[in-house]
Amino acid sequence: MNLANRITLIRIFLVPIMMFFLLVKTDYFPAIHVENFQITYNQIIAALIFIIAASTDGLDGYIARSRKMVTNLGKLLDPLADKLLVAAVLISLVDMGKCDAWIAIVIISREFAVTGLRQIALLEGAVVAASKWGKIKTAAQITAIILMLLNNFPFEFIGFRFDEVMLWIAALVTVYSGIDYFVKNKNVLHFTDKKQ
């Protein structure tokens, strides 16, 4: 197994560790209080794990391309790792009451729909490349998730719900980018229909 795939696997293994710290309910992790702002140490640890895992997304792809390590396993694992990370944290945030369930469902559904499109394209020998809107979507999702994990820090001090604003932006860009992927790659679906 090459270096790029190992980094992708590390991202997958970080998901349950992040969820443990995010969802654990114990007195071992006290809270930090500053004026009206409160956050627990386990939330901070979960946020740091998420940031580390999210930052490895571009790293494994860069290593795979620059060192000519692109493999079929990597093509399968990389999008799977991304989707697992985002889905796990969104479901956890719904459980914590920080994210509406319908927003999580919309985002997760789009992620798996586009992953399905990519897998169909791979079976046909085609590649669905990341689009500009896909990259904007990823940045918006990561920003929204980090803000929610950190209880809207530092914007909570000025009373601006930037975490909620970013979550709405992430949801809208997620839907738009999903539609964009399917419109631009509809030939993959038509080709599959003709073969059946």
Please check whether residue 180 is in contact with residue 164, taking contact to mean a CB–CB distance below 8 angstroms. Answer: no
Mean pLDDT per 10-residue interval, the chain, length 196 residues: 87 94 79 85 94 87 82 79 92 93 95 86 75 90 95 90 95 95 82 51
* Interior/surface letters 60-99, b for 16+ CB within 10 angstroms, e for the rest: bbebbeeeeebeeebebbbbbbbbbbbbbbbbbbbeeebb
Please check whether residue 75 is in contact with residue 122, taking contact to mean a CB–CB distance below 8 angstroms. Answer: yes
CA-wise closest residue to 129 among 79, 193, 189:
79
Q: What is the pLDDT of residue 195?
A: 52
CA distance 142 to 67: 27
Q: What is the pLDDT of residue 76?
A: 76
In eight-state DSSP terms, residue 156 is: G
Q: What is the pLDDT of residue 191?
A: 53
Please check whether residue 70 is in contact with residue 62, taking contact to mean a CB–CB distance below 8 angstroms. Answer: no
Q: What is the pLDDT of residue 66?
A: 86
Q: Which tokens sit at 196? A: 């059946």
Domains identified in the chain and CATH numbers: 3-195 (1.20.120)
Within a 10 A sphere around the Cβ of 171, how many other Cβ atoms?
22
